[in-house]
């Protein structure tokens, strides 16, 4: 018969394994990445992740059973949010660990960016100084809901889907810096491609709101839009 100590350790690691099992899915990791931007409905998450509503709901239930996410119902809609800010911090640490150990991540990222004009990320400290001095126009190209949940100071909300119709409002005499959810979000990459095609000097910023928050940098929460 196992000793009391062995039973204790088995019980603990079984519980830790619940979290590991919940994270052992690329789709669920993407959902956590999206929820790091703010609470979203199942429908919104399915749309952003390119999944069916049924599959998204199933993945969210797995995350909920592991107590990584929580739900809140508003009428017919169910909104999901991270159970704790530590969940987002854990996801970032997992991402950082994978980046340091898996060279395939760098290779895939480099290949993707090189095909799109070798768009290099902007150093966050240099960017912050340039934003404060008014040298650049900082665009948040995520959906409005994510901008409202938290954005970089001085950023203007111009969702990617609305970018082309708002180009006339952007100043041509300043460089445009676009950012989205983080290093593996393609919204900023696509935004820079559109801006460059239209004659703007544009670059992307690799980091997103969770990365700035994790570094202790300020985040604003506001529904104000300059270009509406």
What is each CA distance from 55 to 24, 29, 48, 184, 228, in whole angstroms? 15, 14, 13, 22, 35
Active site (annotated) includes residue 180: yes
Are 94 and 23 a contacting pair, CB within 8 Å?
yes
Are 217 and 224 a contacting pair, CB within 8 Å?
no
Please name the helix (run of DSSP H) or strand (run of DSSP E) that holds residue 173, with its range, or none: none
Active-site option among 36, 88, 180, 185: 180
Cα(227)–Cα(147) distance, rounded to whole angstroms? 14
Phi-psi region of 79 (alpha: psi -120 to 50; beta: other; left: phi over 0): beta
Q: Which residues are part of the catalytic machinery?
A: 180
């Amino acid at each position: 018969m196992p000793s009391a100590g062995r039973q204790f350790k088995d019980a603990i690691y079984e519980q830790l394994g619940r979290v590991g099992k919940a994270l052992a899915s690329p789709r669920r990791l993407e959902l956590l990445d999206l929820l790091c931007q703010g609470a979203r409905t199942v429908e919104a998450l399915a749309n952003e992740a390119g999944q069916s509503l049924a599959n998204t709901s199933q993945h969210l239930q797995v995350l909920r059973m592991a107590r990584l996410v929580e739900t809140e119902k508003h009428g017919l809609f169910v909104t999901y949010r991270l159970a704790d800010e530590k969940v987002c911090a854990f996801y970032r640490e997992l991402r950082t660990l994978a980046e340091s150990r898996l060279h395939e991540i760098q290779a895939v990222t480099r290949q993707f960016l090189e095909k799109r004009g070798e768009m290099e990320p902007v150093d966050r400290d240099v960017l912050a100084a340039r934003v404060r001095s008014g040298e650049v126009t900082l665009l948040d190209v995520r959906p409005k809901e994510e901008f409202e949940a938290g954005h970089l100071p001085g950023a203007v909300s111009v969702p990617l889907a609305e970018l082309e119709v708002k180009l006339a409002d952007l100043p041509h005499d300043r460089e445009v810096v676009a950012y989205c959810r983080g290093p593996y979000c393609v919204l900023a990459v696509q935004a820079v491609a559109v801006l460059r095609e239209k004659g703007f000097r544009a670059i992307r910023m690799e980091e997103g709101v969770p990365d700035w928050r994790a570094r202790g940098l300020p985040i604003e929460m506001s529904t104000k839009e300059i270009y509406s």
